[in-house]
Amino acid sequence: MASGVLADFARMPTQRKVMVFVVIGVLIGLVYWKFAYKSLDEGLDVAQTEHDNKVAANRRLAQDIPKYEELRTHMTRLRELIEKNQTALPTGPELPAFFETLQHKVAESGVEIRKWTNRTEEPVETGSPLPPDVTPPRPYDAPPEREPIVIPAAPTGPETTVVPPSPVDGATPLLTMPREWQHHNGEDYDDLFDRMRAGFALDEVQEPAIDIQLNWFEHNPDYLERVFQRAQRYLYHVVTEVEARGMPLEFALLPVVESAYEPFAYSGSRAAGLWQFIPGTGRRFGLKQNWWFDGRRDVIESTRAALDYLQALHDQFDGDWLLAIAAYNVGENSVRRELDYNRAHGKPADFWHLKLPSETRAYVPKLLAMKRLMAEPERYGLEFAVIPNEPYFAVIDTNSQIDLKIAAQLAGASYDELVALNPGYNRWATDPEGPQRMLVPIDNADAFDTALKTLGPDDRVRYASHEVTRKETLAMIAKQYGTSVAVITKINDLKGGKVTAGATLKIPEISGQLPDKVLLAAARVDRPETDVGGRRQRQIVYRVRGGETLSTIARRHGMPVSTLARLNNMGAQDTLVKGQRLVIKASARRFRDEGVVSGHRLLYTVRSGDTVYSISRQFQVSVTKLKSWNGLNEHHQIRAGQRLVMYVDPSRQQG
C-alpha cells in the first residue's frame, strides 16, 4: 500500500506535489507550536505567580513600616515616662518587681505594646515578652536600623498598685537606663565620624569640579592622615557646636578646606586660625585681638564666630547653604553682585552658574568632595581610623593670668599639647584681661583643677624686678633676661619705649624658648605689616655689627632714626649690642649687605618623610634659599631629627 501511495505521488503534477508538502509542513508546525505554547503559558504562569508574591510582600512591607514607626513612637513615650518618674534599672533579684512596676506604669500611660510578625499585627498575650528574635522588616535599600528594644508586655488583668522596691544598704547600685534608651543628638555613636555621617544634610551634587577635588583627596591619603591627626583635638567640639545649632554636619569639615585643621595657619591675606578669619571680619563677629590674645586662633571663640557668620550668610541668601559657603570664602558682597548680574541677564541664580574667583569656584567643591569621601571612604579605597565620640578637652576657669608652662606642669600634660589646645595666646601666658580659662586634655582636667586651687595668683605668672642703671637700655636689659624689648615695654606700659635710670621694671621669667608657631604669631603682632596708608611693606631683619648705632644704620637704609627706633620699641639714643637684630621696613631696592637677613629666624626639626621640597612648601621659602641657609647640595640628604635653619616671612606662613 505504501508503494502504491508513493507511485501515485510520483505521477502527480509538480504543482500538486508542492501543495502536499506545504500542507504537511503546516500540520507539523501546528503540532510543534501547540506544545511550545503550552510550555510558554506554564512559564508565564510561574512568572506571574512570583510577581504577585513580590507585590504582596511589598504591600505587606509598606504596611509594616508605619507600624514599626508607631512602635518607635510608643517606645519614645515609654522612655519619657520612665525619665519623668526617674526610674532606673536595678539588677539581680530586684528585676521582677521592677518590671511589674514598669508594666503598671505602661498601662497607666495608655501605651499598647504589640509584637511583630511578617504579616499581621496582634496584641501580645498578658505577661509574655516581645519575642527577642523578631525584628521589624525594612526595605532592602534602607540603612541598617538599630536593634529594637525588648521589654515585657503590659498587664491586662485587674489594676493593682505596685510599690517599687526600696534601696537596700549594701545592695548593688542601680544602673542608669540602657544606652539604647538615651537618644540625645549624636551620643549613641562610638565613632565620631559615624556621628558626622548621620548629620550630613547638603544635597548630593554631580559636578566635574567635585570629581577633580575628590580625585586629589583620594590620591593623597598622607595629607588626610596628617589633617585628621590634628583634627582629633578639636573635632568633637566643632561637631557638637554645629549639631547644637541644627546646621549640616558637613561644616565640621570646613576647617579641613580652610586651614587643614591647623589653628596656627596664616594666609597671605592675613587670615588666621582654624576658620581663617581676617582681622576685620574677626572683630565684626566679636573676636578679640590684642598683644596677648588672638581670638581668631582660639578654638572655642573662632568656632562660635564661624558658625554665627555662616548662619547669618544662610539667612541672607534665602537658605542656600552653597551660596553661604561661597560668601564665607569670598565675601557676601561679591556673591550678591554676581547673583544680581545673573538675574538681570536671565541666568540661573545658583552657585554653579556664578562667575566667582577661581579660589571660590574650587572652595565649595572641595567641601562637597570631602563630604563624599567621608561618607563612603571604602568606595575610594580609604579607611579612617576611629576618633572616639567623646570630648578631647575640658575647659577650666583659671580666674587669673597663668604661664602656660606652669599650667602644663600642674596638669601633668606636655607643653606642646597645651599650646595646641590653647593656640589663641600670642605669648607665654594667658591674657590678664581674659579669657581666663585653659583648655586641658580631658584626662588631665581634674588634676589641673585641683592643683590650680592650691596656687596663688602671684605664683601663676612669675616676674623678676630690675632696677635700671645709668646708660642701660631696654635692649641691653632684654638681652640680659633673654626676652625682647617689646615684652618689657608692654609689661611695664612704657610710653615710646623709653626708660630712665632708677626705674624698676617687671621682667617676666620666661622658662625656655617659646614654640616656633607662637613666636611667629607674636612677630606678626610686634611688627605691623602695613604703613599708615595701608600699603603692604617688605620687612627685613638686620644684624648689628660692632660699633654701629641706630643713627648710622638708619642713614644707611635711608630712613629717619626716629622711625627705626619706633619700629624696634627703642629710644633714638639707645645703645646697640653687637649681634642684636633690628626690624627694618625696606624699600624696593635690594640690599646686598651680608649683615641683612630677610625674615624671622626659625629652627625646624626634620620629621620622617620630610623632603627639602616639602619643607620649602610648608614654610613658603624657596628650595634654593633653604639649601643655601643649611649648606645643602644635591649630594646631601636630610634625615629625621636633623635641624634646619630658615628665615621666614611671618605673613606668608600657613602654620
Question: Which tens digits make up the pLDDT trace of 192-246?
Answer: 999 999 999 999 999 999 999 999 999 999 999 999 999 999 999 999 999 999 9
Mean pLDDT over residues 457-476, rounded? 86
pLDDT in tens, 247-298: 999 999 999 999 999 999 988 778 999 999 999 999 999 999 998 999 999 9
Nearest alpha-carbon partner for 289 in 128, 633, 528: 528
Of residues 572 and 613, more confidence is placed in: 613
Where do runs of H (alpha helix) occur along 397-532? 404-411, 415-421, 445-453, 457-460, 474-481, 485-491, 516-526
Nearest alpha-carbon partner for 363 in 248, 197, 207, 209: 209
Confidence of residue 517 (pLDDT cuts 50, 70, 90): confident
- Give the domain 462-526 fold: Membrane-bound Lytic Murein Transglycosylase D; Chain A (3.10.350)
- Using the predicted structure, report yes or no on whether residue 339 has a pLDDT greater than 90: yes
Burial class (CB in 10 A: 0-12, 13-18, 19+), 361: middle
- Using the predicted structure, report yes or no on whether residue 585 has a pLDDT greater than 60: no
Q: Please give the pLDDT value at position 406.
A: 93
How is domain 599-652 classified at the architecture level of CATH? Roll (3.10)
Residue type, 486: A
Cell numbers found for residue 125: 498575650
262 annotated active-site: no
Of residues 478 and 310, more confidence is placed in: 310
Catalytically annotated residue among 243, 250, 258, 548: 258
Confidence of residue 138 (pLDDT cuts 50, 70, 90): very low
Q: Contacts by 620-623 with C-beta closer than 8 Å and gap 24+?
A: 620/648, 620/649, 620/652, 620/653, 620/654, 621/646, 621/647, 621/648
pLDDT in tens, 3-57: 666 666 667 777 777 787 777 887 887 776 666 556 556 656 666 666 666 666 6
Q: Please give the pLDDT value at position 81.
A: 57
Q: Please give the pLDDT value at position 238.
A: 98
Q: Please give the pLDDT value at position 75.
A: 61
The two beta strands, 596-597 and 538-543, are antiparallel
Vertex 442 angle, CA 438 and 447, to 5°: 75
Q: DSSP letters of 515-574?
A: PHHHHHHHHHHHS-SB-TT--B-EEEEEEPPTT--HHHHHHHTTS-HHHHHHHTT--TTP
CB atoms within 10 A of CB 569: 23
Vertex 383 angle, CA 378 and 386, to 5°: 130
Q: At what angle do helices 321-330 and 299-316 cross, to 10 degrees?
A: 120
pLDDT in tens, 568-580: 656 666 677 777 7
Cell numbers found for residue 564: 627705626
Is residue 449 within 8 A of residue 411, CB to CB? The reply is no
**Residue 289 pairs with which residues in a beta bridge?**
294
Least confident interval from 36-45, 133-142, 495-504? 133-142
- Using the predicted structure, report yes or no on whether residue 156 has a pLDDT greater than 50: no
Is omega for the bond preceding 441 within 30 degrees of 0, making it cis? no
Q: Please give the pLDDT value at position 363.
A: 95
Class of domain 192-380: mainly alpha
Mean pLDDT over residues 114-137, rounded? 36
Tell me if residue 216 falls in helix, strand or coil: helix
Q: Please give the pLDDT value at position 315.
A: 96
Distance between CA 289 and CA 297 in Å, rounded? 10
- Using the predicted structure, report yes or no on whether residue 172 has a pLDDT greater than 60: no
- Using the predicted structure, report yes or no on whether residue 88 has a pLDDT greater than 90: no
pLDDT, mean over the chain: 75
The two beta strands, 538-543 and 504-508, are unpaired
Mean pLDDT over residues 138-163, rounded? 34
Confidence of residue 628 (pLDDT cuts 50, 70, 90): low
Confidence of residue 178 (pLDDT cuts 50, 70, 90): very low
Mean pLDDT over residues 368-374, rounded? 96
End-to-end Cα distance, the chain:
110
